[in-house]
Chain A
Amino acid sequence: MDNFFESAYSIAQQIKDNSITSKEVVSKYFDNIESKNSELNAFLITDKQAAIRQAEIVDQKIQAGQQVGTLAGLPVAIKDNICTDDFTTTCASKILREWKPPYNATVIQKLISQDAIILGKTNLDEFAMGSSTEHSAFGPTKNPVDPSRVPGGSSGGSACAVKTDMASVALGSDTGGSIRQPAAFCGIVGMKPTYGLVSRYGLIAFASSLDQIGPFGKTVKDCALVLNAISGHDPYDSTSLDIKSDDYLQYVDRDLKGIRIGLIEEFDEVLDVSLRENLESATNLFKQNGAEIVKVSLPYVKYALSTYYLIAPAEASSNLARFDGVRYGLRVDGDNVEEMMINTRTQGFGQEVKRRIMLGTYALSSGYYDAYYKTAQKLRTALISDFKKVYDQVDVIICPTTPTGAFEFGAKLDDPLQMYMSDIFTIPSNLAGHPAISVPFGTDSNGMPLGIQILADGLNDSKVIHVGSALETLRTEG
């Protein structure tokens, strides 16, 4: 029975074949939630009754022989920075503790239209700012592999839920690695699609030009299944790409013949021994199975972290201005409206959010804009043109997802710069708007899971799925 949870794709098939009901499936997942969530704190809120009710509706449709969606009856978890009108949406912040959006995000509408069952909302670093889920106002999520360690972040709750079979698949958001890093730390697959492939409407913005919603799954195929459902043009998002839809499932289980894979020279020097060995064994598997390995250079990639930590906080400082106690969320009173706003924001935001708002406000402020924000934007151009040259030579790039495996709680809490370093390999894809996937591969010296990341050029989401799926197969065969 353990195997039952290993593939959302196969569960979806069984529900559709009527060999198991959605109600039974949802109940199984709720059994896990009830036995595990109080310790791990992956979910902030669930609604079993509503989920069962939805499952019954799907079951009736199937039994009546009606057409159902591609995710029919499948239990899904949603990161709590994606708006749902059936659940509060808190961003794991005191400032939005009770907030119930009067609308659904586009991705939620899409999941519902494919008959998915939404179980509840998962924990995150407050406003998706963090790499450990320690910055949640509602307590950290624990790493299910070793509960003394962080699950990664910011989408730690979604990663933990999928790893522990509290959800079959989940949605997260990725601004600088917030899907891929927790996927790697928890030992599952996480994907950040091309910027604009999935609508951001209803995703509470952290850094608008970097944010992207993406799937978590046990397998690459599960991620492809979810990506099929959530991608596509949305007239409510001006940055949504209006392109022909693709079936990402067709890129799973292909061979690697003719595939050229790049290794980034500049990352060599920052890899420690265990990470280098892990990357080498992945590289060898690729080579043995027909892929061509090419050394490539991204001269500007070493500035990506600096670039990111100017752009993301700058956009965040503006995006988070609206939390002022006037229209929704927390209000802490004051004698006049100005005092009320200050009191609300001062008490409503946690330390990491304040730190980034401060940093971003400074980067945009008069006299510093050119030196910080504008320079960072220029770096972004330089990095994108680096990538362009590389993708003339190779189909994909591979590198570790993270510089270490999951670390212990509190290890980096007092040194934000060290915490930011966890994102060093994931950030470049966000700056360039490119797709990337993290596939579990190997472990660190503590036995914690590691991830190998596959990057591709913008709109080549099919390539990261193709190569990611191949790596998954080779790993299990090997």
Chain B
Amino acid sequence: MTQDKSFISKEQVLHVAALAKLNLSDQEVTKFTAQLSDILGYANELSELELKDVSPTAHPIELENVFRDDTVLKSIDNSKVIQNAPESLNSQFKVPPILDD
């Protein structure tokens, strides 16, 4: 199933990893470039199809206007909110500093 043509470049793989907040080793970059290229090459069969007049489906079921009433229900206990936090301080989630502010 390997294509002659590469469907994604190393640079694109690195760009995508940055968008997805992943750090890839050199080995992973090489491996993912080949594997993603394989998969995208396979999926490239879709590009041959004439689908101009077909509308996209986001949902397998046809539903619309699903609402909730604007009525307050109890929130969960602060202790339960914080129990899973890797780090917390004064009932807040604590993280290393945000740089760009």
Whether A327 contacts B85 in the complex (CB less than 8 A), given A342-B23, A346-B22, A458-B61, comes out as: yes
Contact with B along A225-267 (1 / 0, CB 8 A): 0000000000100110100000000000000000000000000
- CA distance in complex: A442, B84 (Å): 47
- Does A209 have its Cβ within 8 Å of any Cβ on chain B? yes
CB closest residue in chain A, given B82: A327
Question: Nearest-CB distance from B80 to chain A (Å)?
Answer: 4
A residues within 8 A CB of B43? 306, 309-310, 372, 376
- Say which residue of B1, B19, B59, B95 sits within 8 Å of A239 (CB atoms): B59
4 closest Cβ pairs, A-B complex: A433-B60, A377-B56, A331-B86, A328-B84
One digit per residue, 1 when the CB lies within 8 angstroms of any chain B CB and 0 when it does not, for chain A 295-308 equals: 00000000101110
Q: Kindly list chain A residues whose C-beta atoms are within 8 Å of the C-beta of B87.
A: 331
Contact A381-B55, Cβ < 8 Å, known A334-B96, A335-B96: yes
Q: Which residues of B contact A327 (CB under 8 A)?
A: 84-85, 93
**A355–B35 contact, CB under 8 A?**
yes
In this complex, the interface size class of chain B, counting residues with CB under 8 Å from chain A, is: 35 or more
**Dominant SS at the A interface?**
helix
Binary CB contact string for chain A from 336 to 352 against chain B (1 if under 8 A, 0 otherwise):
11111111011001000
Among residues of B, the one whose C-beta sits closest to the C-beta of A375 is B46
Chain B interface (Cβ < 8 Å from any Cβ of A): 1, 8, 12-13, 15-17, 19-24, 28, 32, 35-36, 38-40, 42-43, 45-47, 49, 51, 54-61, 63, 66, 68, 76-77, 80-81, 83-87, 93, 95-99
Spell out A's residues near B (CB within 8 Å). 98-100, 102-103, 194-196, 209-210, 235, 238-239, 241, 303, 305-307, 309-310, 317, 321, 324-331, 333-343, 345-346, 349, 354-355, 357-359, 361-362, 365, 371-372, 374-382, 384, 416-418, 420, 430-434, 458
- A340:B95 contact, CB within 8 angstroms: yes
User: A340, A416, A458: which contacts B39 (Cβ < 8 A)?
Assistant: A416
Q: A354 and B22: CB pair below 8 A?
A: yes
**C-alpha gap A303/B57 in the complex (Å):** 15
Given A239-B63, A355-B32, also A384-B57 (CB < 8 A) = yes
Contact A358 B32 (CB under 8 A): yes
User: Could you list 10 examples of A-B contacts with CB < 8 Å?
Assistant: A196-B61, A239-B63, A324-B21, A326-B93, A335-B96, A337-B96, A338-B21, A372-B40, A378-B57, A433-B60
Are B56 and A102 interface neighbours, CB within 8 A?
Answer: no
Q: How far is the CA of A142 from the CA of B17 in the complex (A)?
A: 33
Separation of A335 and B1 alpha carbons in the complex (Å): 43
Cα distance, A349 to B22, chains bound together (Å): 9
User: A234 to nearest B CB, angstroms?
Assistant: 11
Contact in complex: B22, A196 (CB < 8 Å) = no
**Contact call B80/A102, Cβ cutoff below 8 A:** yes
* Sample of 9 more A-B contacts, CB < 8 Å, known A310-B46, A336-B97, A354-B24: A239-B59, A309-B43, A333-B96, A345-B20, A359-B39, A362-B16, A381-B55, A382-B51, A432-B60
Residues of B contacting A358 with CB < 8 Å? 13, 16-17, 20, 22, 32, 36
A147 to chain B, nearest CB (A): 28
CA distance A315 to B96 in the complex (A): 28
Set of chain B residues within 8 Å of A343, measured between Cβ atoms: 23
A306 and B1 CA atoms in complex are apart in Å by: 13
- The minimal Cβ–Cβ distance linking A427 to chain B, given in whole angstroms, is 12
From B8, B60, B84, B93, A100 is in contact (CB under 8 Å) with B84
B61 touches which of A330, A417, A433 (Cβ 8 Å): A433
| Smallest beta-carbon distance A423→chain B, Å | 13
A431 vs B56: C-alpha distance when bound (angstroms): 12
A345 & B22 in contact (Cβ 8 Å cutoff): yes
CB of A209 within 8 A of CB of B8, answer no
**Which residues does chain B contribute within 8 Å of A310, judged by CB atoms?**
43, 46
Report the Cα distance A382→B28, complex, angstroms: 36
| Smallest CB separation, B78 vs chain A (Å) | 11
Q: Which of B13, B20, B54, B96 contacts A357 (CB 8 A)?
A: B20
A328/B85 in contact, CB under 8 A: yes
Chain A hits for B39, CB < 8 A: 309, 359, 416-417, 420
CA distance A216 to B30 in the complex (A): 39
Q: B20 touching A329 by the CB < 8 A rule?
A: no
How distant is the Cα of A103 from the Cα of B43 in the complex, in angstroms? 39
In the complex, A106→B49 CA distance in Å? Answer: 41
- How far, in angstroms, from A418 to B1 measured CA to CA in the complex? 9
**A residues within 8 A CB of B35?**
355, 416-417
